[in-house]
Structure 1
Amino acid sequence: MTDQRAEFCAGERPDDVALFLADSYVSDDRLERFGEHVDGGTLIVVDGERGRGAFQAATGTGAMEFAKSAMDLEGLIDADLTDGTCPEAADSDADDHDPQYIFAFAEEQNEDVGGLYAEGDVIHAYAQCTCGTAYSDRWNPASGDDLEGDE
């Protein structure tokens, strides 16, 4: 895991965004110049503005518009931002439930908001499944060292 990715997953890069693009969704070797090749795709961690632009270029959708559409349905997104469990998978026998892409950002702890936000930084993640379902997840991050085994 790269330092940038570990720092992002630990909530230490609140000005950056992370973008996972599955190999099955975008097949472009040039992506590896900007990110880290991971099992099944490429994960990019860049500053927020560039990341939102890269997301739009790769998906044809605005990052925040996608996030708003995905936040209504909760699913599970892995803490390493490379996989997830679509909430529609339980209702289907099909094997078409892999994330095509994941967009994530970190929000710093905010005790005034309460709940998860009072406990620490929060990672917000949004996924688009191959079945067409968009879903979201959020959590308090573990330290980057805790994610090393997730690769």
Structure 2
Amino acid sequence: MSDPREEFLAGERPEDVALFLADSYVSDERLEQFGDRVDDGTLIVVDGERGRSAFQAATGTGAMEFAKSAMNLEGIIDDDLTGGQCPEAPGDEDHAVQFVFAFAEEQNEEVGGIYAEGDVIHAYAQCTCGTAFSDRWNASEA
């Protein structure tokens, strides 16, 4: 594999982070220089430090602070990181993902659970309604 996005989603880039920024949230054609154009926005995979800085610049929120706040509510984030379903209004068309911050964690059998089964993708999303939510899954399931 040589596609950073595919490598990230396969759990092969634990030092990197992925950011999805919806067009409805931030419209800046320069973003495409740094990532892949997807249906409703741009998906960027970069090293962790640059990614956290880019996330803060784009959202005005620290990446880890956002992740901690989103961790309290589970939702569904698409395994390609470009959308999801807000747990506050499942199936409501007025709810859409504005941005996603994600990282991969390597398999850790000592922790158990899904961590023993393989690499884990941690994803955190913000809905247009203001709800922050999280999801996680084994990279092998994506």
Q: TM-score range by the shorter chain?
A: over 0.9
Shift of 1:94: 5.0
C-alpha separation between the residues in 2 aligned to 1:118 and 1:97?
Answer: 34
Cα distance change on mapping 1:57 and 1:119 into 2, 3 Å: same
Partner of 2:27: 27
Match of 1:137 among 135, 138, 141: 135
Taking the aligned partners of 2:84 and 2:92, their CA distance within structure 1 comes to 16
Number of positions where the alignment pairs a residue of Structure 1 with one of Structure 2 = 141
Q: CA deviation at 1:50?
A: 0.1
From 109, 122, 125, give the equivalent of 1:127: 125
Whether the aligned pair in 1 keeps the contact of 2:107 and 2:120 (CA below 8 Å) is: yes
Tell me what 1:6 maps to: 6
Write the distance in 2 (CA, Å) between the matches of 1:64 and 1:142: 25
Aligned-pair distance for 1:89? Answer: 1.3
RMSD: 1.4
Instruction: Give the alignment of 1:37-56 within 5 angstroms.
Output: 37-56=37-56
Q: Aligned residue for 1:15? A: 15
Q: Secondary structure at the match of 2:79?
A: coil
In structure 1, how many angstroms separate the alpha carbons of the residues matched to 2:19 and 2:46? 8
Aligned residue among 115, 118, 125 for 2:116 = 118
Amino acid at match of 1:89: A
The reply to whether residue 64 of structure 1 matches residue 67 of structure 2 is no
Show structure 2 runs of 5+ residues with no match.
none
1:40-75 CA-to-partner distances (Å, cap 9, x unmatched) read 000000000000000000000000000000000000
- Once residues 40 and 133 of structure 2 are traced to their aligned partners in structure 1, the CA distance between those partners, rounded to angstroms, is 19
How does 1:87-98 map onto structure 2 within 5 Å? 87-90=87-90, 94-98=92-96
Question: Do 2:119 and 2:140's aligned partners in 1 also have CA atoms closer than 8 Å?
Answer: no
Q: What residue identity is the alignment partner of 1:45?
A: V
Give the structure-2-normalised TM-score.
0.96
Measured after TM superposition, the shift of residue 13 of structure 1 is 0.3
Aligned to 1:86: 86
SS at match of 1:74: coil
Secondary structure, aligned partner of 1:89: coil
